[in-house]
Amino acid sequence: MTFLGLAARNLLRNKVRTVLTVMGVAISVVTFLLLRTAVAAWTASADFAAKDRLVTRHKVTFVMTLPKRYIDTLRVEGPALGVKSATFANWFGGKDPNHDTEFFATLAVDSKSYFEVVPEVLVPKDQLQAYMDDRTGAVVGDVLAQKLGWTVGQKVTLESGIYPSDPDKPWTFTVRAIYTSRSKNVDRSTFLFHWDYLNDNIPQTRRDEIGWIISHVDDPSRTAAIALSVDKLFDEKDIQTLSQDEHAFNQSFLAGFSAVLTAFDIISVVILAIMMLVLGNTIAMGVRERTNEIATMRAIGFLPKHIALFVLGEAAVLGLVGGLVGLALAYPIIERGLGRFVQENLGNILPFFDIPPLMTVVSLALAVGLALIASIFPAIKAARLPITDGLRRLA
């Protein structure tokens, strides 16, 4: 029998303690994966942002608008700067009075160009054409449609605090298409509609204003240089701009939550420390209880390195089993349970809540690695135990 096999069999001598330790490691793994999944989901919009897109906004703040003529200027002079195509959008701030507590993004977009510049938004061709033909049409994310029970052809009335409607003429839309996406940088809980419909139904003083411009560049390696060229184009205008690649733009929104993300990172480290302490305590107790056996093994010819390997092997098996049990619990709890709830109720913030594949490998490696680290001191102590002292000790 190998040392690893002997270590595995030895763990069964105290089944209650082994089971409790395995469950402790498993719970730590589940908690660790939950925290890392939350961080990954929160930062997905930045991590998976397109490398060949720019976002141009008002230089002072995102909430201030730009003149619509800026997009016309960019479309004319942009190709010489490296801009292949451009579109724009406005934040509408809509809310369904029938679902007053539900928040979702509502954007007025330039429908003729938006789906070309943002191809990750997948809309069936027949539904897209129906949307294009309907001035009051809307394209809705599949997660939002499922959550609020909207179907194609349904009338939806929204209220907006940014663009109040006339009581006799509310903001009424017809859901003409439901979009999906396989990309993790796309919010599948967004409500899109024609910017022209918005522009034609607001006061004259507020017309011909856009929120931000989205540009598709011809060379991703030159995105930063193109951004500077775009801003320089408007330097002499009455309103200056700030252009960023999509990753930087999305990252700016995450800046306000940096403290939360840092807290998640700290808690992840604490969870790992607790797991190591649990494993270390179990291994130390097992070594102390088997002092006589270890001394006997030394007396019949086992070397100190054999004793150390025996202890390390026991720890490795314990960490491996605990890690595997944790992974077995994590997928139904996080992805099938909590993940579905998050995607259905917080899809506008966390459109994807799946365990990153790399984290499954990392968590298992950490469970085994920390078990080995936690067993180093007990292994050294057992290897250095004098044979005569071990044989005298009763427990």
Tens of pLDDT, residue by residue over 270-280, are 888 888 888 87
Measured over all CA atoms, what is the biggest interatomic distance in the chain, rounded to whole angstroms?
97
Phi, psi (degrees; rounded to nearest 5) at 108 = -90, 120
Tokens 């490398």 correspond to 51
pTM: 0.65
Residue 214: predicted pLDDT: 92
Give the list of residues 6+ apart from residue 5 with CB closer than 8 angstroms, or none. Answer: none
Angle at 320 between CA 318 and CA 321, to 5 degrees: 65
The confidence score (pLDDT) of residue 108 equals: 95
- Residue 161 CB burial class (10 angstroms; 0-12, 13-18, ≥19): exposed
The Cα–Cα gap between 346 and 125 comes to 28
Q: How far is CA 159 from CA 6, 118, 155, 172, in A?
A: 69, 26, 14, 9
Task: Tell me which residue of 256, 236, 208, 210 sits closest to 55, measured CA to CA.
Answer: 210
Which pLDDT does position 395 carry in this prediction? Answer: 46
CB 10 within 8 A of CB 307: no
Opening angle at CA 106, ends 180 and 132, nearest 5: 65
Q: Which two tokens stand for residue 383?
A: 């290897």
Which residues of the chain fall below pLDDT 70?
1-13, 43-50, 250-261, 289, 291-294, 298, 339-353, 389-395
Q: Which residues contact 304 (CB under 8 A, 6 or more apart)?
A: 298, 383, 384
Quick count: other Cβ atoms within 10 Å of Cβ 80? 9
